[in-house]
Amino acid sequence: MKTPAVKIAFQRLGVFAFCVAFFVSGVFVATKTGFNYLPWICIPSALWATWDSRRAGVTKYRSLMAMEPVGILLSCLLIWWLAFPWYVIFRWSILEGTARMKE
């Protein structure tokens, strides 16, 4: 059974909004208290995305996130607030079977 398009859109928007809000709140907390918890979340999630990208075989698909694991690691470490939710959304499309394969 296919998931309705509206539900998929809200799921994707929710993942992206959560990650952006988490990142912004982390920057705010770091400036107010001096404690930066972002590395404790961003680094492990970037490592997970790297490990999972090899397992999911993302290089077989058509997307800007369909890169080698090192590229996913670097993009998640440098721009976590954008790259990590993008990878999670891309992974969902692979699992659902809606991701387009390379020719």
pLDDT of residue 12: 87
Distance CA 61, CA 53 (A): 11
Q: How confident is the model at residue 29 (pLDDT cuts 50, 70, 90)?
A: very high
pLDDT of residue 28: 93
List pLDDT tens digits, range 69-82.
999 999 999 999 99
Q: Model's pTM, two decimal places?
A: 0.84
pLDDT of residue 82: 92
Does pLDDT of 32 surpass 90?
A: yes
* Residue bearing tokens 């997970």: 48
Find out whether 42 and 69 touch, Cβ atoms under 8 Å: no
Tell me phi and psi for residue 10, to 5 degrees. -70, -35
Does pLDDT of 18 surpass 80?
A: yes
Q: How confident is the model at residue 2 (pLDDT cuts 50, 70, 90)?
A: low
pLDDT of residue 6: 84
